Amino acid sequence: MITRRKLLRQLSSTPVIGSLFGAGFWSSSLFKSAEVKTKTRNLFEELGVTPVINASVTMTFLSGSLMRPEVMEAINSTSHDFANMHELQDKVGEKIAEMLQVEGAMVTSGAACAMVLGTAAAITGTDPEKIKTIPNLPGPRPEVIMQKSHRYVFDQAITTTGARIVEVEGPEEMEKAFNERTVMALFFNAAGKSSISHEQFVEIAKRHQVPSFIDAAADVPPVENLFKYQKIGFDLITFSGGKMIRGPQSAGLLYGRKDLIEAAKLNHSPHEAPIGRPMKVNKEEIFGMYAALKAYLELDHEKEWQEWLDRIDRIKTQLETVASVQGETNINPGPANAFPSLLLSWDQQKVRITPREVNKLLKDENPSIVTNVRRNEDRQDLLSVGVVLLRPDQVDYVADRIKSILSKAES
Ligand SMILES: *Cc1c(COP(=O)(O)O)cnc(C)c1O
């Protein structure tokens, strides 16, 4: 039997046939008759790693999102040459800034890194001594103002720089919180409630000449949110690269005021000493993040939304063939994860299994299917099936698997 490699070598040494490569040659019947096997290496299998179907939302522990084809193309096509990382970050940053209509931008290793770098920039400016010293600056700790109701797990990225968080409630308390140690004010966009509006927050910070930073990491769709907060006047903005923008999961965007972005770059790799050095982003991911953003901005968002609704319909129709099963489209109001999903309920006298049990059985399958259990106002559990992260070929598969579990429990 002739191997693919041997055949390739033989063919490419023949000038005429060699030049046929790429032009659909491999799918020709001539080639098929050579019975060449093209089994790609399966690293999931090789390492015994369970593949996961994400019928939920983007979660870092589930590897974020699947990178767009444009991102993989960017990664592969740029992996064959070296680049000067300063130049690459500058050029990509310029382009992203132009796309997002801001003065400056950079690619970070995720939104959490953007928070470290943004805070570091607010503390150090371009002072090399301070850049070398944080988080161990002499004297009292720099202060970052936050609303009490905005405190969240990710604010540890702020205190990583040595800063201390000062909690305020309402515009009056915010006014009084500024002093000579205040370096920044942080707004968590997806916080449940705010005692200070976006506009008030920006206005007060500006009056005290302190940069305002908004963390909107998971807040697309809608795509307009990528442009919204600079218009309100925030000095720094971050979005994750690996959530619905579907770039590399270890990339993110930091953008806004140029002087702050330049200071953030000084606090980042490829510089050798600063706080951001362990938060390196590789060359391919920087190119990949640019490609992801460009593809995301150029996407037909209405069409994508309709496709999500169609997926929900498709799954719902299949499942409603099981006695008493009812599906309902649920649109999360956001700002984080603002997209539709399918909520399933059934009469447990007719289908003798709980949503929690279905969720567990799906999770234990191989491939593992991750869904969620939601509780409604009547304190009734519902099975929530996310559709936005499914590959097109997984839609029917997920419907099929849920249907099989529910049918088996039919009494
Ligand atoms: C996901 C998330 C982060 C962290 O983003 P990474 O890109 O994973 O570093 C920070 N803040 C919020 C609100 C998030 O949702």
Q: What is the full per-residue pLDDT of the chain (411 aa) written as tens digits?
A: 444 454 444 444 444 443 444 444 444 444 444 445 667 999 999 999 999 999 999 999 999 999 999 999 999 999 999 999 999 999 999 999 999 999 999 999 999 999 999 999 999 999 999 999 999 999 999 999 999 999 999 999 999 999 999 999 999 999 999 999 999 999 999 998 999 999 999 999 999 999 999 999 999 999 999 999 999 999 999 999 999 999 999 999 999 999 999 999 999 999 998 999 999 999 999 999 999 999 999 999 999 999 999 999 999 999 999 999 999 999 999 999 999 999 999 999 999 999 999 999 999 999 999 999 999 999 999 999 999 999 999 999 999 999 999 999 998
The alpha carbon of 207 and the centre of ligand 1 are apart by a number of angstroms equal to: 29
One domain for residues 224 and 270: yes
Centre of ligand 1 to C-alpha 335, Å, is: 13
| Residues 363 and 293 reside in one and the same domain | no
CA dihedral 183, 184, 185, 189 (to 10 degrees): -160
Q: What's residue 38's pLDDT?
A: 66
Instruction: Say yes or no: CB of residue 185 within 6 Å of ligand 1.
Output: no
Does the residue 115 lie in any domain? yes
Distance 96 CA to ligand 1 centre (A): 19
Q: Does residue 331 form part of some domain?
A: yes
Q: In terms of domains, do 190 and 289 share one?
A: yes
CA 250 / ligand 1 centre spacing (Å): 11
Q: Whose CA is nearest to atom 7 of ligand 1?
A: 110
Provide the domain count of the chain: 2
Contact 260, 123 (CB under 8 A): no
Lookup result for tokens 């002087």:
259
Alpha helices for 160-300 (secondary structure H): 170-177, 198-207, 225-232, 258-266, 283-298
Q: Is 144 found in the same domain as 276?
A: yes
Residue 125, CA distances (Å) to 87, 129, 131, 211, 232 in order: 20, 10, 8, 12, 23
**pLDDT score at 23:** 41
pLDDT for res 236: 99
Q: Is the CB of 112 under 6 A from ligand 1?
A: yes
Q: Atom of ligand 1 at shortest distance to CA of 241?
A: 7
For ligand 1, the distance from its centroid to the CA atom of residue 217, given in whole angstroms, is 5
Instruction: Indicate if 106 and 218 belong to the same structural domain.
Output: yes
Do 181 and 287 have their domain in common?
yes
What number does the ligand 1 atom closest to the CA of 64 have? 8
Query: Is the CB of 111 inside a 6 Å radius of any atom of ligand 1?
Result: yes
Residue 195, in any domain of the structure: yes
Instruction: Give yes or no: residues 345 and 292 share one domain.
Output: no
Residue 286 lies in a domain: yes
Same domain, 363 and 263: no
Shared domain for 282 and 333, answered yes or no, is no
Q: Which residues pair with 142 in a beta bridge?
A: none
pLDDT of amino acid 39: 79
Boundaries of domain holding 365: 301-408
Calculate how far, in angstroms, residue 397's C-alpha sits from the geometric centre of ligand 1.
30
| Exposure b/e, 212-221, CB count within 10 A at least 16 = b | bbbbbbbbbb
